[in-house]
Chain A
Amino acid sequence: MTPDLIYGFTGVAVFAIGLVGALCAQDRLRRVLALKLCSVGAGFMLVVGAWREPPAAPDPVPHALVITGIVVMVSATAVALALIRRLQSLEAEDDR
């Protein structure tokens, strides 16, 4: 049992959980959370792929890619949340 094996399966599981959430969630905010889970799952795969048996240093390229992925995801999340906020405001205005 090496860390890459353990965390590799973690990544697959987290991605799949996020996928279920993204497809089934009945709440707008929860769907954003689910998508964020998916992105962490994908991040796990790349970090696991970069891992080498300890004395050896890990591959830096996937690390850089995951950092990029994290920044990209926070941008997408911000836009999705802005959409949710505005939409909810408009819908609430109509209710009143």
Chain B
Amino acid sequence: MTVEFDPMTLAIFMPLLGAIAAFLLPRVAAFIGLVTLVLTAAVVVLLAREVLSEGAIILPLGGWGAPLGIDLRADGLSVAMLALTCIVGFLVSLAALDSLKGDAQARQRQYFWPLWLLLLTGMNGVYLSTDIFNLYVMIEIIALAAVGLTVLSGSKAALRAGLEYMYASILGALLFLMGVGFIYLQLGRLDFAGLINADSSLALSAALALMIIGMFLKTALFPLHFWLPAAHANATAPASALLSGLVVKAALYIFLRLTTYMPLPDEILVTLIGILGAGAVVWGGIQALRAERLKMLVAWSTVVQIGLIFVAFARAGQVGLAESWKAAALLILAHGVAKAAMFLSAGRIKDEIGHDLIRDLDRSSVRPTLAQFTFALAAISLIGLPPSLGFIGKWSLMEGAMAAGYWHWIAVTMAGTLMSIAYFSRVFAGFLRFDRVRTPVTEHQGWAYADAAPLTLAAGAIALGFFAAPILSFIEIGYPFGVAP
């Protein structure tokens, strides 16, 4: 009997089996983790090839088929998200190898790998799932693993932030579950295909509202962002990178999918979402300007970027929604790569200097040049300077808004850009050490994985801008945005 392994199943099972192995054999957990990530990446490449040649593919698990069973479905968008997760995840893992190598981190190392691989299982599961209850289970896996990673350092600040994060995560998931209940009440089925053809009704609107609020909470859209800055800023560097770069994207992805399958009933609602996004851009910008610690600033910038993605989503209003989804998808990818790079380099800077107070950045005797360079590169993409992927995302956002005559969204985007230049400049000013040099400079010693990985990511965030067109056309495979040509 030959056993055939399907890439979609493997994309979920590979990290799961890796997590089990890493938990059983803590001594070689790092090795197992890296091997698992390489294998998962290979599986994703196989899947991408299949999707490229055949379009969207569906796998009925257990052979039952939706709605009774659960289908896995891969299209351009989900494979793009899988690829983002795997690539960013692999590079962050390389950095983690280095930053968790000390004896003091033996315990962190032992638990980092199984938790991270479970997190990967959950995220891959979300990107391939077509069943809303299955999504609920997956976001709970993500939540537990992510909270475990948040409190890896065991500091009191991290534990406090982790507890807040836990409350927000559970509440978000439970709102989602209540929405699942209402969808079942109305439709009697829980698969995406059943949602598309449903007539709108009060119960469905209630379900959609509950689920969307739950996802807002988990993705930290203003004003439900209260848990994010502390959680992301107080985690250890690799965990921050994973949380900010990847984990919030899972909830965003679910939001994108939901709004594709259950069209938002009203333009007012879309505008409201845009207003919340604009609020995030402004409030997050102000807080980033006031932040005292580097990692806090980076965490607030995540709030801003999430807001921007929602602005991108909202800007097209009723007409041409598909376009705005593309801008949002591009911004998600760009932010995932750049933010992971930025958190890793911020962690490096903190490790080298010994603190991450912005106002004292230029007083240290150590100069972590590479990390600072990486931080600046990542900032280029986050600010949205050409030719980075962030620029393409913002550009397609503004282009669409101009075409549709939504000038207010352009104003919000521009304001966000200006503010991000302002708050990142605070950091650059610290890097440049203009006149406050008090001590002789010690250059950073040599290369390390912990520098190479974020540098690769940051360079990638910029270089990907050149490949925006093929990325966009790949994302469109299988019509993830519900629009056939």
A residues bordering B, Cβ < 8 Å?
Answer: 11, 15, 18-19, 22, 28, 31, 35, 38-39, 41-42, 45-46, 48-49, 59, 61-62, 65, 68-69, 72, 75-76, 79-80, 83-84, 86-87, 90-91, 94
Contact = CB atoms under 8 A, between A and B. Distances in A.
Given A68-B137, A76-B166, A83 B177 contact: no
B230 interface: no
B140 to A, nearest CB: 5
Given A22-B171, A65-B180, 4 more contacts: A46-B184, A68-B133, A83-B162, A84-B163
Given A76-B140, A91-B156, A35 B167 contact: yes
Given A79-B144, A79-B148, A90 B159 contact: yes
Contacts of B166: 76, 79-80, 83
Contacts of B174: 18, 35, 38-39, 42
B181 interface: yes
Contact of A45 (B133, B156, B170, B182): B182
A38 B184 contact: no
Given A42-B177, A68-B137, A75-B140, A80 B184 contact: no
Q: Per DSSP, are chain A's interface residues mostly helix, strand or loop, or mixed? A: helix
A87 B160 contact: yes
Interface of B: 68, 133, 136-137, 140, 143-144, 147-148, 151, 154, 156, 159-160, 162-163, 166-167, 169-171, 173-174, 177-178, 180-182, 184-185, 188
B97 to A, nearest CB: 26
Given A22-B167, A42-B174, A76-B143, A87 B156 contact: yes
8 contacts: A35-B174, A38-B171, A38-B178, A45-B181, A49-B181, A49-B184, A76-B173, A83-B159
Contacts of A35: 167, 170-171, 174
Nearest to B151: A83
Given A49-B185, A76-B140, A83-B159, A42 B178 contact: yes
A42 B185 CA distance: 12
A42 to B, nearest CB: 4
A11 B174 CA distance: 13
Contact of A79 (B147, B171, B180): B147
Contacts of B188: 49, 59
Given A28-B163, A75-B140, A86-B159, A46 B170 contact: no
Contacts of A62: 184
Nearest to B183: A49
Q: Per DSSP, are chain B's interface residues mostly helix, strand or loop, or mixed? A: helix
B212 to A, nearest CB: 16
A79 B115 CA distance: 13
A95 to B, nearest CB: 12
Nearest to B145: A79
B185 A45 contact: yes
A65 B174 CA distance: 13
Contact of A39 (B151, B160, B167, B177): B177
A28 B174 CA distance: 18
Nearest to A47: B181
Nearest to A93: B156
Contacts of A46: 180-181, 184
B343 to A, nearest CB: 22
A58 to B, nearest CB: 12
The 5 closest A-B pairs by CB, nearest first: A45-B181, A42-B177, A42-B178, A38-B174, A87-B159
A38 B143 CA distance: 17
Residue from B136, B167, B178 with most neighbouring chain A CB atoms (10 Å): B178
Contact of B156 (A65, A75, A90): A90
Nearest to B68: A61
B182 A31 contact: no
Contact of B178 (A45, A48, A90): A45
A80 B163 contact: yes
Contacts of B140: 72, 75-76
A51 to B, nearest CB: 11
A15 B167 contact: no
A83 B163 contact: yes
A48 B136 CA distance: 19
Nearest to A76: B170
A11 to B, nearest CB: 8
Nearest to B155: A90
Contacts of A61: 68
A68 B180 CA distance: 13
Contacts of A83: 147, 151, 159, 162-163, 166
Nearest to A65: B133
Residue from B169, B171, B182 with most neighbouring chain A CB atoms (10 Å): B171
